[in-house]
Amino acid sequence: MRRIWLLAFVGYFMLGMGWVLGVPVNGTYDEVQHIPRAYGVVTGQIYADGYFFDGPASLLPGNLTCFEPEKLAAGCQTAAPRAGTPQGDETVRWPSAAARYSPLYYAAVGLPLALSPDRDGIIAARVLSVLLSALLLATAMALAARAGNRLLIGALLLVTTPIAMNLNGAINPNGLEISAGILAWTALLLLVRGSEVRPARSLFVAFGASAALLLTIRHMGPVLLGVIILACLLFARPGRVRALFGQAVTRWTLGAIAAAGALGVLWMVTSAVDSIPPDPNRAVDLSTAGIVEQIVRIRTPFYLTQVIGQFSYGELTLPGWVAFGWYALVAALVIPALLLANRRYRLVWLGTAVACFGMLAVLELWFVPRLGWYSHGRYAMPAGVGLVLMAAFVRGLGGEPEEGGGGEPGSNLGGEFSDRFVQLVAVGTACLHIYALVEVTLRYREQISSMPSPAYSFVLGVTGAFLLVAMSWRNTYTQLTPTRHNPDTTNNLGRSSEDETRTVAH
C-alpha cells in the first residue's frame, strides 16, 4: 500500500499548501497568537514571561486584524520592517494568548521563524505544519486501504473538511490535533474491530504515536483521547479487548501513551496553562439559563458550520449549500449505518455525540462569565470525527448485516455501494475543497502585496484534490487480499474475504 500512502500524502500536502499560500498572515483563527509562541519556543523562551515573548519587529506585519470587522482585503495590513535592518531587528514584546501552551508543536514547526523572522519564515513554518498533518492523514488512509475497508476511505475523506485543511496550512496546533485524532480513531477502530489474531504492528505504532500527540499538543487532548478510547472499547468486538491485552505489544503501546500523558500533565502543572485570568472587557453578563439558551440557538449552528467551512475569525462563512452538500455526503454514510447497526452501536454513537457537544457546552458555561464566548466546533473535531469513522465498521454497509441489528440479508448494501460511495465522496469533497480554497483566497484579493500570487494557491489546491480523487478511485478497483480459504467451500459459504481477515464489524 505504499503507492496509496504516497498518493494520499502528496494529495493532502498539496491541498494544504494551497492554504499555506492562499491565506495572509493571521488569516486563520488565532495565528497571531501562535506565531510569537513558536518563535519563543525555538529561541529558548519555553516558559513565557507572563503572556509575552521578546522577538524582532520584523516577525509580524502591522495592523494584523484590520480585515476582520468590515471584511476588508488583507492589503490593509502594513508591512513589517525588513529583517536584518536596525528597525527590523529591534526587540519587541509580542503578546500571545498561547504563551503557556505545550511547546511540542511549536518546536516542530518554529525553526524557520528563528532563521527568518518574517513572512518567509512564517510560510516555511506553515509548510512544516502541513507536512506533519499530511503524514498522519496519509498513514490513516494507508491503514484503511491495507484493511480493505473501502468505506473507511470515504469516511476519512469526509472528516478532512475544508476547515481542517485550512488549519493544517496555518501555524496553529489545532490542525495537527485534528489529524492526530483522525489517525487515533482509525488505528484503534481497526484494532478493536479487527479479526486478525495478531494485528499488524503498524496499527499499534499509529495509535501510540497519535495518542501521544493528543496528550501533548493541547490541554484538551486528554479529554479528547478519553472519548476516543472509551467509544472504541464499547464498540469493540466481543472478546477482542481481552485478546489484545494478552499481547506484549499492547502493553508496550499503553506504556508509551502513559509516558506521554505524564509529560502532558507535567507541562500543565509547571506552566499553569489552565490559570487564565478573567477579562472584564470580554466577559458576558448572562445567567446560566441565558448561556444555555444561546448555546442552543446561536452557538450550536456556529459549531456545525465551522467544522465544514467558517474561516478567518468567523466572519467569512461559505454559502449554505457548501455545508449542506458536505453534510449530505456524511448523512449518506452515517444514517444507513445507524439503521443497520445494533443498539450497542447506536448508544456508542449517541454517547460520542453527547460527549463532544458536552465539552463545548461546559467550556462555554465556564468561560462566558470570565472571557466571553469561547468554544469552537473545531475544538471537538479530534473526537467528533469518530461519528463518521465508526459508520465504516457497520457490516450491513460493506458485507453482512450487523449481528443483532435491524438489517436483514436482503437489506445488505454490499461492496458495490462501498465503491460507488467512495467515488462519489472523492469527487464531491474535491469540488467543495477547491471551491472553499478559491472563495477564501479571493476574499483576500489584495493580499498579493504580502503573499505570493493566488495562482500558486489555486494550482496546488487543485493538484492536491485531484491526487486524493485518484487515490480513492484506485482503492475501489484494488482487489482485497485473498483469504487463506476457498470461499466456495462448505465451511466458508456466505463469507467474504473481509470477514476472514479484515475489519468489517459484526
Is there a domain that residue 340 lies in? yes
The DSSP bridge pattern shows strands 91-95 and 310-311 to be unpaired
Alpha-helical regions (H) of 23-77: 31-42
Say if 99 falls within a structural domain.
yes
Q: What is the C-alpha to C-alpha distance for residues 322 and 125, in angstroms, rounded to an integer? A: 30
What φ, ψ does residue 248 adopt, rounded to 5°? -65, -35
Residue 65: the pLDDT is 75
Sequential DSSP letters for 338-372: HHHS-HHHHHHHHHHHHHHHHHHHHHHHHHHHHHS
Let me know: does 222 contact 228? Beta carbons within 8 Å. no
Element housing 56 (H / E):
strand 52-56
Task: Classify residue 490: in a domain, yes or no.
Answer: no
- Residue 481's pLDDT is 45
Runs of H (alpha helix) within 23-149: 31-42, 104-109, 111-115, 119-147
- 486 lies in some domain: no
Q: Is the dihedral of CA 305, 231, 205, 156 positive or negative?
A: negative
Task: Provide the CA 147 distance to its chain's centre, in angstroms.
Answer: 21
Residue at 218 is within a domain: yes
Reported as a single tens digit per residue, the pLDDT across 365-397 is: 999 999 899 999 999 999 999 999 999 999 777
CA–CA gap between residue 350 and residue 41 (Å, rounded): 40
Whether 113 maps to a domain, the answer reads: yes
pLDDT score recorded for residue 323: 95
275-299 pLDDT, tens digit each: 777 888 888 889 999 999 999 999 9
Look-up: residue for cell 467515488?
423
Q: How many domains does the chain have?
A: 1
Q: What is the pLDDT of residue 77?
A: 80
Residue 202 located in a structural domain: yes
| Regions in the chain scoring below 70 on pLDDT | 67-74, 398-415, 445-451, 474-506
> Can you give the residue range of the structural domain that contains 147?
2-480+497-501
pLDDT at residue 414, as a whole number: 54
- Reported as a single tens digit per residue, the pLDDT across 482-497 is 333 333 333 332 333 3
Query: Is 123 within the bounds of a domain?
Result: yes
